[in-house]
Amino acid sequence: MAKGYAVAITGATGAVGQTMLKILEERKFPVKGLRLLASERSQGKTLKFQGEEIKVEKLTENSFQGIDIALFSAGAARSKEFAPAAARARAVVIDNSSAFRMEPDVPLVVPEVNPHAVARFQNRGIISNPNCTTIVMVVPLKPLHDYGRIRRVVASSYQAVSGAGASAIRELEEQIQAYVHGKPIEARAFPYQIAFNLIPHIDAFQDNGYTREELKMHYETRKILEDEELRVTATTVRVPVFYAHSVAVNIETERKISASKARALLSQAPGVRLYDDPGQKKYPMPLFVAGQDDCFVGRIREDISHEKGLSFWVVGDQLRKGAATNAIQIAEILVEKYL
């Protein structure tokens, strides 16, 4: 009989938590017991898993007794407060927040890129999930970096509102309805109206003019690809799309990578779906990528401004591959090799 594992999800009623629940079921993860945790205001709600209604419990330091794997999706403040308690209870924490990503003794893992890093969970009992946009970008960067060694990345992201949570999804819906019916448009989740607009501002601005989201892409990409000499600059933009983040990526490499070679490398890369035929108007778009786990790549072309430059466009569902699916793939490595 296959072994099962006791799993806890923190932030279970949020957008990422509910997606984690769905993906555990889809991927037939060996769950022998499931504990759903959230703040006091969600206590007593029920969520369905494998046909059973499971009651949401209040998250406390004592929530993790008997838990093997704790999936954290409740934000950095909650992770800093409760993840150490989960680790002390001998649960392995897979944390979706930014709380521990850049700590040197905590592995930052994308299973298609650096699965070997999972082994370092034994340092503190915690594994970090990278930023959603970073994940979508590094999955196709990995085979290109292995072949030609990337020296510099210039990225511009077009990020869906669902990356800001369930309230942001509702806000876009409400603003569209208000616009259609000629009513005043209110902005709460974002500093400005997001419907029919772009906002070049995700997370807090720093002293150097970058936002925290942009710096995450810089530092996390270097850590995941294990190359501290890699230079990454990003501009992150919120767009009026419900699901799936898009990134326009330009790279400079030590070894030239032709467009045809890039297509060949990416067509064989795990987690990548090549969708690149501009003549037939085939290129990735959020409309068709939402709800899928692969990172879709298209618009591959050699950079006419740099002899060793290459540009491409990648789209990935940030609630799935950018968050929940990536976390559960890490859990699958844990149960296969370590637990």
Residue 78 identity (one-letter amino acid): R
Region 84-89 average pLDDT? 98
Q: How do residues 99-129 score in pLDDT, each as one tens digit?
A: 999 999 999 999 999 999 999 999 999 999 9
Single-letter code of the amino acid located at 116: H
Question: 3-state DSSP call for residue 230?
Answer: coil
Q: Which residue has the tokens 């709800």?
A: 291
Partners of residue 252 on adjacent β-strands: 152, 309
Using a 10 angstrom Cβ sphere, with 0-12 exposed, 13-18 middle and 19 or more buried, the burial of residue 156 is middle
* pLDDT the model gives residue 2: 54
Name residue, tokens 């068709």.
288
Supply the DSSP symbol for 282.
B
Beta 52-58 vs 46-49: how paired, if at all?
antiparallel
DSSP-assigned states of every residue in 74-105: S-HHHHHHHHHHHHHTTPEEEE-SSSSTT-TT
Residue 63's Cβ-side half-sphere holds a number of Cα atoms within 13 Å equal to 28
- Kindly give, in sequence order, each residue whose CB lies less than 8 Å from that of residue 257, ignoring residues fewer than 6 positions away: 144, 147, 148, 265, 308, 310
Query: What is the C-alpha separation between 73 and 107, in angstroms, rounded?
Result: 17
What pTM was computed for the model?
A: 0.96
Q: Which two tokens stand for residue 106?
A: 């905590």
Place of tokens 């950095």: 76
Residue 1 clears pLDDT 70, i.e. is over it: no
Which pLDDT belongs to residue 74?
86
Point out the residues that are catalytic.
132, 245
Query: According to the model, what pLDDT value does residue 165 have?
Result: 86
pLDDT (tens digit per residue) in 142-156 = 999 999 999 999 999
Q: Percent of the chain at pLDDT above 90?
A: 98
Under a CB-based contact definition with an 8 Å cutoff, are residues 64 and 92 in contact? Answer: no
Give the tens place of pLDDT for each residue, 153-205: 999 999 999 999 889 999 999 999 999 999 999 999 999 999 999 999 999 99
Place of tokens 């009651």: 55
Which residue pairs from 43-51 have beta carbons closer than 8 angstroms and sit at least 24 positions apart in sequence? 45/13, 47/12, 47/13, 47/18, 47/21, 49/21, 49/24, 49/25, 50/25
Domains of the chain: 5-129+323-338 (3.40.50.720), 133-318 (3.30.360.10)
* Mean pLDDT score of the chain: 97
